[in-house]
Amino acid sequence: MYETILVTLDGTPSDRAIIEHVKQLAKLANSRLVLLHVADGWAARTYGPDAVSPEIAEDTAYLRKVREEFQSTGIPAEAELAYGEPADQIIKWVEQKGCDLVAMSTHGHRFLADMFLGATASRVRHSIGVPVLLLRAK
């Protein structure tokens, strides 16, 4: 059913909710995971893949750690770092590479906060044609 699951990570504690949920789902569905984090700091937005900054180093280490966590439980996982605006990059990834499910944690903002803070999850779910699993972080 879900051969490839794209798991978006933002590098905050809210990621734990989706990580733990997807562990169980991936085992049940025998899925392969792609972990995607979008670096969106100044260097990442300005230089893209050529960016060198503490943010990029931390993001790369974080993705490696989460990938190893999944792999240690027998779940095939790979990690990718994208650069720029998170919603745009997630949508682009899905359109170019394809997956069967996108799994995301949400911060649980409400109307006004979403207007001012972005609402990445909302933009993604309205822009792609594959199912999106949204799990509200506690």
Percent above pLDDT 90 for the chain: 80
DSSP notation for 22-87? HHHHHHHHT-EEEEEEEE-SHHHHHHGGG--SHHHHHHHHHHHHHHHHHHHTT--EEEEEEES-HH
Structural domains in the chain, CATH included, are 4-136 (3.40.50.620)
Most confident of 44-48, 91-95, 125-129: 91-95
What per-residue confidence (pLDDT) applies to 112?
A: 47
State pLDDT tens for residues 84-114. 999 999 999 999 999 999 999 886 555 544 4
The four Cα atoms 43, 107, 133, 40 give a dihedral, to 10 degrees, of: 0
What per-residue confidence (pLDDT) applies to 128?
A: 95
Taking the model in full, what pTM does it have? 0.90
Phi, psi of 6 (to 5 degrees): -90, 120
Pairing of strands 4-9, 32-39: parallel
Question: What totals of helices (H) and strands (E) does the chain contain, helices first?
Answer: 6, 5
What per-residue confidence (pLDDT) applies to 113?
A: 47
Structure letter (DSSP) for residue 12: S
What per-residue confidence (pLDDT) applies to 136?
A: 84
